[in-house]
Structure 1
Amino acid sequence: MANILTKVRDGLASLTSGLGTERDKAASVYYAEPEIDEQQLVNAYRGSWLPRKIVDIPALDSCRNWRDWQAKAKQIELLEAEEKRLGVKAKVLEARKKARLFGGAAIYFDVGDDDPAKPLNLEAVKKGGIRFLTVLTTRQLTPGDIEQDPLSEFYGKPKDYQINSTTLGMVRIHPTRLVIFVGNEHPDNDIASGLKHGWGDSVLVSVMEAVKQADATSANIASLVFEAKIDVITAEGFADAVKDPVQEQAIRNRYRLAATMKGNNGMLLLDAKESYEQKNGEFSTLPDIMDRFFQNVSGAADIPMTRLFGQSPGGLNATGESDMRNYHDRIQSAQELEMQPAMTRLDEALIRSALGTRDPSVFYVWAPLEQMSEKQKADILKIKADAGRAIAGTGGASPSLMPIEALSDALVNSLVEDGSLPGLEAAIDKYGGLADQDDDDDDLIAVAAPAQEERQQATDAAPRTLYVRRDVVNKSDIIRWAKSQGFTDIVPDLHVTIAYSRAPVDWFKVGNSWSEKLDIAAGGPRQMERLGDDGRYFALLITANELVWRHREIVEAGASWNWPDYQPHISIQIGGDVDLAKIEPYRGRIVLGPEVFEEVRED
């Protein structure tokens, strides 16, 4: 009895069920050293779609949008050209895939010096110095001895690597000339004995059991489909009859004929002592069972079901967006914590190979995986513009919080970085910033004068109908184009309508636009179309985010808009006979003056 008390005093045990004893099923759980040979990894990758996606998806997503260089425009062109010449993006993707599959892979970058066994001298890399990149796997690249000096930057890692060359024999490569990627890192090379020396585990090692269970369950469910409907016939004396070979053959012939008649004629003839029934398989719960196994695989692979299986999770209003955000955050963490440190020396050599020298102001950021929609971009642009107006103030009792030039430069930098206005940086380089503007622009003054007059007339806040437009400043350019295309009765007051509200609105609530002049750069989508109920208006359709969000801002302030949507355009001609199929849209620069406020005139 004393021995029994000693055994059970530290846990719950039952002599009846075996709980807590050596007969307990849970007592058999044992974690052996995980090991999958390379051939099985290759077979799984080639023969099953789940292992392939588990390997490929995170590698692909980490390289999909790549990175954005932060430098001068000319430097960015050179850096991107060098990346394209060397195929950096494709090589990194290949290495990431192979590292995840085999547990490790490396990119060797050759700079043309004599001895790859020596540490890389970055300062010796000149323009065009990187000759090529080569991806090597664990089978081709053998790690050397592990560095045991704690004062070395390579402590705990191989001192060098060896590769067999068909021309030079065994070649040693210093780790500074390699970009090393691993799959799943070993917790400790000293403890993890018997594993690949100097590398990691394949990512499939820890998920293979879940994958096999899902594959097996899917295969079993597929087999059940063939048993969805089973015919069951009972016959008296059947068990005794099959003992005689002659009667057994007779029974076979009998029911083969019955099956043929049922298949051809839908008719089944039975003896009075025989009975027939159909049993249908029950499949209603199988999708839930399969989903549980898929969720198990998704959790093991750390890839959302939305991405791995292409299906959204179940449940009310479930979209998987939060799962995808978490997954994208994880990919970004891998880019910053795994890929970027591994690629540091390659990137430093790449900058020197592209530019010829190392500009300390050059760096890069990883491009976000989640891309904003056009509506989201327009909303952000509107918010930034509103904030800029608030900071700029209105003069008098609301002075600017900072110099307008400084605010302008900061907003331009922000809009360039987030891509709200494509081509803005090139346009600023071409036309100059706020400090470069000519305050004596005669065209702008001519257009602005009546606008100022209109604003002064609107001194009260009584709601009134509202028509807002921007007149074209460089209309001579557009008129010249219109005449060359065959237009003969060109509208004299070329303009873009922003608002047309028959409903009264408080003009002061609408407020002013952020910019007195809107400069739309050449290029971009342009199109000629007929507008109006009768198609009498020949209009040039243009794109300008500022016009779109300004229109939306006025509508939100209470203005009406009697059309399904808003499309910025310039009416070129009203009426006439013009074949738009032969018209080449105007693609040059468009300069719009300040907003003009008027009451709606129905005529």
Structure 2
Amino acid sequence: MWLVDNLFNLISGLGTAKDKTVGNVHVFVPRPLPEIQAAYRGNWIARKVVDVVAFDMLREWRAWKAEDAQVEAIEAAETALGVRQKLLDGLRMARRDGGAALLIGDGASDPAQPLVPERLGKGSIRYLHVLGREEITPGEPDRDPASPWFGEPVSWQLVSATRGQQAIHPSRVVRLIGAPILESVQSATERGWGDSVLQAVFEAVDQATSSAAYVNAMLPEAKQDVISVPGLSQHLSTEEGTRRLTDRFAYAARMKSMFGMLLLEGDGKSPDGEVFEQKQISFAGLPDVVRLFLLIAAGAADIPATRLLGQSPSGLNATGDSDTRNYYDHVAARQKVELTPAIRRLDELLIRHALGARPPEVWYEWNPLYQPTQKEKADAFKTVADAVAVLAKAKLAPLEILAQGTKGAAVDSGLFPGIDAAYEEHGDAPLTEGELDADQFGPDGQPAEGFTGTGNVVPLRGRVAGGQQVADAAPRTLYVSRKLLNGADLLAWAKSQGFTDLYPAGELHVTIAYSRQPVDWMAVGPTWQGAELKVEAGGPRLVERFGDVVVLLFSSSELRWRWQEIRDAGAAWDHPDYQPHVSFALSADGVDLDQVQPYNGPLVFGPEIFEPITENWRARLAEDSLGGGPNATLPFRDAYNPNQRRDARGRWTSGLEPLPIRLKRKHHPRIQQL
């Protein structure tokens, strides 16, 4: 007899009688239900295989699509009936035992009679119960092709200790299946139920569990004391010799336990005396073997190891993100393909129970399992906002349509709590009511002083004035900074480290942009961080010298992102990279920077300050010195003025003018950059 579609190799024996795999035969060995239930209760891997998928399918639940009042009524009905928790219990039971059922009751009609959805009024469902496959028994399947219940049991039998057997009409039962049985004959033997999901993974679960157990059993044997005794056989040949030998080493063990010493005959090395040595078992490679069996169990359960075992991914640059997303896609597919059809009967009855009718426009969708972080949401919304701005600037779409799209994106993003209610209150009306007069705006296009608009929102820059579009502001040089609001904390730390030439607390700041190249300030736009930016305590901090000035270097992704955003708007930058820092001392006299412990507390910065760059700072210094007044102080040193001297009060003076000069940051290019 010839075998078709098989591979033979007479030299190696592949496919011949010499091949050990030729005798492999798959034989189905059904696990009895008590064993399956015992494994679920006593084996942590088996329990997670059953629970994880069921829990993840319902974890984020679903979102009903209807009017707000209808959604609230349906969700209230789900809560009152405990639909989510009872469906979770049913899925767990179905995955463990192969099947379970949800019993729907109206409390009024005979359970043996059909529960007609069209006759169901508001508040008609009285209970929803979860039943195991041993509690409710399906009858013979309906084989009438014209019957609406074709393929379902003609009736179900509910066994009760007080009422005996109770017939239940199939319209009142939602059947949940564990692992479906595709063969109709085999399925009939299980009376329409399926297999337990543990049936196919039992071997992998047992191997993973036993591998860890075997390693655990080796731990007591990891270290053994071995003593070589000359003439051991002679001592054991008689009862007296055996007793004396036993007493001898019992006493030696007590000495070792009490005093930490072992008494031996001889020097412990020569063959003539007793020789002591320790044998240690090597566990190298065993953790990898145990991990391999756990990964096999995870693969057999079709659950990523990061989810089943709760362990971090291993390997270079491994994040486990792709495995998690693939798993979530798999669960989402099962929600749509398996769970939604299985509970469709319950959903139809639930809608009528909550609303009293069945509006055709009511439907739902499963919420996504992967929930993005706030940063991911913000980045996605920024991408949408940038795209809208490009379309608006290029006039590729009407502004009204873009406004509606932006409204939907803002509401769906979840970044702005209450914005949907605000949109509903404001409606589609324009930001202002009626025509705007030209005198309502100043020459820069901003609302004139005292004008707050006639609508719900103060007019924004760039809106129409007198029927004409306000032109963009003329480009100019740009210097952007944020004042350090808790500068006193930083200066207190600096004094504790021995620094003396300190900046005033009001001068401490971080530079974000310094562009001699003219920039349209309006194109830069406002920052997302608002009026306050807090850099949390900790993280990388360094103290270094920039020229004579001492600075605190720190890390801030928000500041770096904002710097890049301003660069993208057309600003120049004279340095190869951007490093956030705060200049706090004009010199490090008497301080060893290598011994300084950097400031590790929080840094709280105020709102962004936009200023033009003042190149003629020397002329402005002269004006300030001649004018005196509040600018006539110079509390710190000008690194570019070699004529400076300290006065009697220890303050720095110019060395040229009779009056001391206050060096303002905006007049000094070097200080601006620092």
TM-score, normalised via structure 2 length: 0.68
| Structure 2 counterparts to residues 308-323 of structure 1, below 5 A | 308-323=308-323
RMSD: 4.2
1:429 aligns with 2:424: yes
Partner letter of residue 281 of structure 1? I
Partner letter of residue 60 of structure 1? F
1:142 aligns with 2:141: no
Residues 443-477 of structure 1 deviation map (CA, whole Å, 9 limit, x = unaligned): 147964887799747334x5433589xxxxxxxxx
Kindly indicate whether the alpha-carbon contact (under 8 Å) linking 1:147 and 1:159 is maintained by their aligned counterparts in 2: yes
What is the CA distance between 1:244 and its match in structure 2? 2.1
Aligned partner of 1:68 in structure 2 is 63
Select 1:257's aligned residue among 251, 262, 282.
251
Select 1:190's aligned residue among 185, 188, 193.
185
The more displaced of 162-171 and 430-439 is 430-439
Aligned partner of 1:346 in structure 2 is 346
Aligned partner of 1:225 in structure 2 is 219
Aligned partner of 1:241 in structure 2 is 235
1:507 aligns with 2:524: no
Aligned partner of 2:655 in structure 1 is none
- Residue aligned with 1:464, SS: strand
Between the aligned partners of 2:301 and 2:239, the Cα distance in structure 1 is: 56
Kindly indicate whether the alpha-carbon contact (under 8 Å) linking 2:15 and 2:22 is maintained by their aligned counterparts in 1: no
Select 1:459's aligned residue among 464, 474, 479.
474
Aligned partner of 1:109 in structure 2 is 104
Residues 501-537 of structure 1 deviation map (CA, whole Å, 9 limit, x = unaligned): 444565348627699xx9xxxxxx99999xxxxxxxx
Kindly indicate whether the alpha-carbon contact (under 8 Å) linking 1:146 and 1:157 is maintained by their aligned counterparts in 2: yes
Select 1:31's aligned residue among 14, 26, 30.
26
What is the CA distance between 1:210 and its match in structure 2? 0.9
Aligned partner of 1:199 in structure 2 is 193
Aligned partner of 2:117 in structure 1 is 122
Select 1:164's aligned residue among 159, 168, 188.
159
- Residue aligned with 1:311, SS: coil
What is the CA distance between 1:150 and its match in structure 2? 4.7
CA separation of 1:432 and 1:549: change in aligned 2, threshold 3 A: farther
Kindly indicate whether the alpha-carbon contact (under 8 Å) linking 1:160 and 1:175 is maintained by their aligned counterparts in 2: yes
Matched residues, percent identical?
36
Between the aligned partners of 1:242 and 1:285, the Cα distance in structure 2 is: 40
How many matched pairs?
Answer: 517
Partner letter of residue 459 of structure 1? A
Aligned partner of 1:298 in structure 2 is 298
Kindly indicate whether the alpha-carbon contact (under 8 Å) linking 1:510 and 1:553 is maintained by their aligned counterparts in 2: no
1:557 aligns with 2:557: no
What is the CA distance between 1:341 and its match in structure 2? 0.8
The more displaced of 257-266 and 159-168 is 159-168
Between the aligned partners of 2:517 and 2:352, the Cα distance in structure 1 is: 60
- Residue aligned with 1:443, SS: coil
Residues 353-379 of structure 1 deviation map (CA, whole Å, 9 limit, x = unaligned): 112222222211111111111111111
Select 2:401's aligned residue among 406, 421, 425.
406
1:324 aligns with 2:333: no
What is the CA distance between 1:407 and its match in structure 2? 2.6
Residues 26-61 of structure 1 deviation map (CA, whole Å, 9 limit, x = unaligned): 344333333122221221111111111111111111
CA separation of 1:11 and 1:302: change in aligned 2, threshold 3 A: closer
Between the aligned partners of 1:85 and 1:410, the Cα distance in structure 2 is: 36
Between the aligned partners of 2:606 and 2:400, the Cα distance in structure 1 is: 31
1:180 aligns with 2:181: no
What is the CA distance between 1:18 and its match in structure 2? 10
The more displaced of 432-441 and 317-326 is 432-441
Aligned partner of 1:391 in structure 2 is 391
CA separation of 1:566 and 1:234: change in aligned 2, threshold 3 A: closer
CA separation of 1:202 and 1:509: change in aligned 2, threshold 3 A: farther
Select 1:208's aligned residue among 188, 202, 207.
202
Greater CA radius of gyration, 1 or 2? 2
Aligned partner of 1:443 in structure 2 is 452
Select 1:52's aligned residue among 30, 47, 50.
47
Aligned partner of 1:490 in structure 2 is none
- Residue aligned with 1:190, SS: helix
CA separation of 1:37 and 1:504: change in aligned 2, threshold 3 A: farther
Between the aligned partners of 2:102 and 2:471, the Cα distance in structure 1 is: 68
Kindly indicate whether the alpha-carbon contact (under 8 Å) linking 2:187 and 2:193 is maintained by their aligned counterparts in 1: no
| Structure 2 counterparts to residues 448-597 of structure 1, below 5 A | 448=459, 456=471, 458-460=473-475, 463-465=477-479, 501-504=513-516, 507-508=519-520, 511=523, 553-554=565-566, 557=569
CA separation of 1:363 and 1:213: change in aligned 2, threshold 3 A: same
Between the aligned partners of 1:8 and 1:79, the Cα distance in structure 2 is: 60
Partner letter of residue 359 of structure 1? P
CA separation of 1:510 and 1:289: change in aligned 2, threshold 3 A: farther
Partner letter of residue 20 of structure 1? T
> Where do 5+ consecutive residues of structure 2 fail to align?
267-271, 437-450, 483-510, 535-559, 583-601, 615-664, 667-674
Kindly indicate whether the alpha-carbon contact (under 8 Å) linking 1:501 and 1:600 is maintained by their aligned counterparts in 2: no
What is the CA distance between 1:348 and its match in structure 2? 1.4
- Residue aligned with 1:226, SS: helix
Between the aligned partners of 2:352 and 2:287, the Cα distance in structure 1 is: 56
Kindly indicate whether the alpha-carbon contact (under 8 Å) linking 1:99 and 1:105 is maintained by their aligned counterparts in 2: yes
